[in-house]
Amino acid sequence: MHTLVITRVAERQWHALDDDLVVGRGEASPRPDGRLFLSVDAWHDDVFARLAGAMLAALARPLFTVVDEADADLRTRWVRAGLTARRREWEYVLAAGGDGAVPRPGLTLLPVGTAELDPLRRLDRAIRAEIESTIGWDQMPAAVLSRPLDPAHYAVAAEPGAYVGLARLALLPRHTRIGLIAVRSAHRRRGIASALLAQILAATAARGVATVSADVHEANIAAVALFEAAGARRTGSNLELVIR
């Protein structure tokens, strides 16, 4: 009869060995904001439980993971390990197209890669501060929290004298991925976010790609309204789980 052995093979990596055969792997991946996100690759519940238990015992908390909500088995495994749901992100998909027309005078839309770094950096700092003073920056999706500020990944909305809104994008081969759309608080309710989204849809179609996707926190009523008004369809959801 074989004995399952859990071995820590690196600072944040574990293997489950059955008679020297690797039957499962666990990893803790640091996100840019410093949080650790766990993942376990194992076929059997007992292997998963042993790997998760070893990781939880060895690492400082809080610890996080993200699961597809449709994957009930994986969610159950993490709940059994002691994690609980922290937030839900709806997955939205939109059809690319349109002309990206600006809805009003005085608003300039800067396509991806054309924004100047210094004013973009000032806008990014201001938006982060506004979010931190309201819902808290740690409530943003893990993939959004901190990335190198590179104009090649941003579309920007500008009014005379200042950048007032931004969209962070990943231009993938089969779709455009929206990581964040945000507008300075003093400039909201002027159609700026809608204009940015329209530009993204038009630019995506222009490069021969059919769809745009985004994750939206279920509690972000304004963002949900923005995407659904643009015709987005909800295709799934992800849960962020935590143990403290």
The structural domains of the chain, with segments of one domain joined by +, span 4-88, 92-238
Residues 156/115, Cβ–Cβ less than 8 Å: yes
CATH number for the domain formed by residue range(s) 92-238: 3.40.630.30
Residues 199-224: what's their mean pLDDT? 94
62: which DSSP letter?
A: P
What does DSSP say about strands 211-217 and 175-183: parallel, antiparallel, or unpaired? parallel
Residue 242 CA to residue 65 CA, distance in Å, equals: 7
Average pLDDT over residues 69-83: 97
pLDDT category at 144 given cuts 50, 70, 90 is low
Sequence-distant contacts of 183-188: CB under 8 A, at least 24 apart:
183/127, 183/157, 184/123, 184/126, 184/127, 184/130, 185/130, 187/159
Query: What CATH superfamily is the domain 4-88?
Result: Gcn5-related N-acetyltransferase (GNAT) (3.40.630.30)
Q: How far apart are CA 148 and CA 9, in angstroms?
A: 30
Instruction: Tell me whether the CATH fold assigned to 4-88 matches the one assigned to 92-238.
Output: yes
Model confidence pTM above 0.85: no
* The pLDDT of residue 164: 97
